[in-house]
């Protein structure tokens, strides 16, 4: 079975470790980045198979990261958020 690389961008360290533990049982190779600004460089340089990207991050928010890396990263980006007040229509479709 192929092991897929996944970059988890999440500033809540306890939650990140919980997600990492679960995904590793599903045969994913999971790396964690807690800082939004650093995540952008890692996504471009490392080119993981999948990015799980938190919406609310220190340094740079998830939507901004997604917009910045999209021209240089063509794999899957999945947005994560626990923020109930997020208005997706504010950002529009890009």
Dump pLDDT digits (tens) for 20-32.
999 999 999 999 9
User: Which tokens sit at 18?
Assistant: 């919980």
Pairing of strands 4-9, 28-33: parallel
Q: Specify the pTM.
A: 0.85
Quote the number of domains for the chain: 1
The beta strand positions in 1-94, using DSSP E, are 4-9, 28-33, 50-54, 76-80
19-28, 32-41, 83-92: segment of lowest average pLDDT: 83-92
Q: Tell me which residue range forms the domain holding 86.
A: 4-90
Segment among 14-23, 31-40, 82-91 with least mean pLDDT: 82-91
CA angle 7, 39, 86 (to 5 degrees): 90
Task: CATH number of the domain at 66, please.
Answer: 3.40.50.2300
* Residue labelled with tokens 């240089």: 72
| Count of H-run helices and E-run strands, the chain | 3, 4
Give the total residue count for the chain.
Answer: 94
pLDDT digits (tens, 9 = 90+) for 43-84: 999 999 999 999 988 888 899 999 999 999 999 999 987 765
Give the model's pLDDT for residue 83: 61
R_g (Cα) of the chain, nearest Å: 13
């Amino acid at each position: 079975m192929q092991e897929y690389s996944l970059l988890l961008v999440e500033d809540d360290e306890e939650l990140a470790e919980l997600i990492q533990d679960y995904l590793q049982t599903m045969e994913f190779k999971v790396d964690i980045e807690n800082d939004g600004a650093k995540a952008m460089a890692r996504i471009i340089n490392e080119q993981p198979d999948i990015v799980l990207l938190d919406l609310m991050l220190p340094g740079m928010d998830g939507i901004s990261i997604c917009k910045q890396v999209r021209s240089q990263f063509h794999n899957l980006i999945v947005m994560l958020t626990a923020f109930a007040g997020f208005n997706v229509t504010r950002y529009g479709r890009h």
